[in-house]
Amino acid sequence: MLKKVLVTDLIRDGGRLVHGLEQQSFPISAALWYYLPEAERWRLVIASQFVDSQGPMAAYVLVQRVLATLERPTLLLSDVSVVSPHGADFRDLCLAVGRMPMTTGPWHTEIQNVVFEDAYIYLWPNQQAG
């Protein structure tokens, strides 16, 4: 099976979305694309305390509002996951990323039977990449 390539347009639009959310004072702990091998797709994950304070529905509403302001985006709301920085899935992702150098580009590891194939990192706690 061939892995789908993360295209330049999605990387650009992900960065535009992250920037737009920051302009709306949406707190972002981390933002990155990662490849889900079981779904055979890339996912833009945004970790935010907003999920804890306002709830996931309010977070997705704000993400959709910012997406609607982007000029001809290739990125869809269904490509985005907004998660709590305190959730188990994000902690597993942190463990995986913590084992890798803080650069953008491909990496692969397995944590607790969850394979993280590749990633493109925009923001990571206390660091920025890409």
Pinpoint the alpha helices (H) of the chain.
8-23, 50-54, 56-69, 88-98
Q: Give the mean model confidence (pLDDT) for residues 84-102.
A: 74
* DSSP reduced 3-state for 62: helix
DSSP state of 102: S
Rounded to whole angstroms, the Cα distance separating 20 from 3 reads 29
47 closest CA partner among 3, 103, 89, 12: 89
CA dihedral 40, 105, 108, 15 (to 10 degrees): -50
Determine the longest span between alpha carbons in the chain, in angstroms. 41
Distance between CA atoms of residues 44 and 77, nearest Å: 10
> What pLDDT does 61 receive?
97
pLDDT at 6: 75
Q: What are the pLDDT digits (tens) for 63-78?
A: 999 999 999 889 999 9
For residue range 23-56, what is the model confidence (pLDDT) as tens digits?
999 999 999 888 777 778 889 999 999 999 999 9
116 beta partners: 109
